[in-house]
Amino acid sequence: MSCAGGNAVLSLFSGAGGLDLGFRWAGYDVRVAIDKDEAATNTYQRNHPSAATHSSDLSHTRASEIARLWTEACPESAPVGVIGGPPCQAFSGGNAHPSDDDERRDLPVRYAKLLKGLNHEFSLDFFVFENVTGLLWPRHRRYYAALLEMFKEAGFRLWPVVLDAQHFGVPQRRKRLFVVGLNRRRFKQGDLKVPGQDTHSAVSTVRQAIEHLPDPMHFRRELSPDLIPYHPNHWTMVPRSPKFNSGLLRGRHVNGRSFRVLTWDQPSWTISFGHREVHVHPSGDRRLSVFEAMLLQGFPRDYELVGTLSDQIRLVSDAVPPPLAFAVARTIRRYLSGGSEG
């Protein structure tokens, strides 16, 4: 399959494909996607069949090897950009026991090194780096400053910005760090106006996203996606805690980290379920289904996650809300095409 001229993009640490979906909505053609997680690559292939999806550990993959994979998939066109969100648990606020020995700390730096090699190979127009805002915390200040310097040394002018998904039509409070870079040789002047709050978009709520759904299926070992009638991801954990049956959770919002009850007429808390601490449905009698979490992330209804229930919970937790990605991608596309940004 031929590549779209001038719009082909390479995705690193692609995960479930939320960032990539937003770029597709903006008119980009994500031709090659790489991640080492089997459930992620299977999910990506299911939803993005036109892309060449590869399972590879990017902490040990050379830029030259990635360039070879690209050339095999898209010999007639170079990528205009690289996008990616390296796993960020080492910098997350939900990481109760951060360690300097956590190998995931090295992945943003690895992304920057691969970016430098790929820019040398292809002379990219842009890159996008997505991660948690924990990178901006004082204890990570030196690491973040060094990372930005690496992006500059890779050949780019930088525009870092923190965006909140709830300001872009996503029914969820989710702040994320984006660093957008433009090739400094090709784009020496002009300012990229990264998207701010979409003042024309009313805040979406949990009710608007999931109230209409039927009850999900409860997990059991013999349950396969084809046996789930409404949507293959509309399943949830069996509510074993007595709190679900006692009525204790109804009408309450926070009952410890493991029992955060959503409110119908507000956006959701951040969809990030460490140790399977899935948010509680506003009814108070069960946890969210994977499909409900996907809708609260802004995924379209026909998107499907692949893998075990645990795999799917991890994938939806790590995903970039596609509408948020779309806002970033649209800004870049308008700038590069000479149109108005924003």
Looking at residues 137-146, what average pLDDT do you find? 94
Does residue 191 lie within any of the structural domains?
A: yes
Secondary structure (3-state) at 77: coil
Residue 152 has pLDDT above 80, yes or no: yes
Does residue 216 lie within any of the structural domains?
A: no
Tokens of 83: 């996008």
Question: How many Cβ atoms from other residues are within 10 Å of residue 192's Cβ?
Answer: 19
Residue 255 has pLDDT above 70, yes or no: no
Average pLDDT, rounded, for the chain: 90
Residue 8 has pLDDT above 60, yes or no: yes
Query: Which residues have CB under 8 Å from 236's CB, separation 6+?
Result: 216, 217, 218, 219, 278, 286, 287, 288, 289, 290
Does residue 124 lie within any of the structural domains?
A: yes
Classify residue 91 by burial, with Cβ atoms within 10 Å: 0-12, 13-18, 19+.
Answer: buried
Overall number of domains in the chain: 1
Name the DSSP letter for residue 218.
E
Distance between CA atoms of 161 and 125, rounded to whole angstroms? 19
- Helix, strand, coil % in the chain, rounded to nearest 5: 35, 15, 45
Beta strand extents in 154-246 (DSSP E only) = 156-164, 175-183, 217-218, 235-236
Question: How many Cβ atoms from other residues are within 10 Å of residue 41's Cβ?
Answer: 22
pTM of the predicted model, to two decimals?
Answer: 0.92
Distance between CA atoms of 287 and 216, rounded to whole angstroms? 10
Looking at residues 130-138, what average pLDDT do you find? 95
Helix H or strand E segment including 84: strand 81-84
Does residue 159 lie within any of the structural domains?
A: yes
Does residue 309 lie within any of the structural domains?
A: no
Residue 81 has pLDDT above 50, yes or no: yes
CA 153-157-161 angle, to 5 degrees, is 115
Distance between CA atoms of 18 and 85, rounded to whole angstroms? 10
Q: What residues are annotated to the active site?
A: 88
Does residue 280 lie within any of the structural domains?
A: no
pLDDT per residue over 88-123, tens digit each?
665 555 544 555 554 557 899 999 999 999 999 999
We report the CATH number of the domain holding residue 133 as: 3.40.50.150
Distance between CA atoms of 336 and 231, rounded to whole angstroms? 38
pLDDT band at 253 (very low <50, low <70, confident <90, very high): low
Looking at residues 218-238, what average pLDDT do you find? 94
Higher pLDDT, 313 or 193: 313
Residue 21 has pLDDT above 70, yes or no: yes
Looking at residue 5, its pLDDT comes to 64
Does residue 275 lie within any of the structural domains?
A: no
Q: Which domain holds residue 54?
A: 8-198+320-336
Does residue 20 lie within any of the structural domains?
A: yes
Question: How many Cβ atoms from other residues are within 10 Å of residue 1's Cβ?
Answer: 11
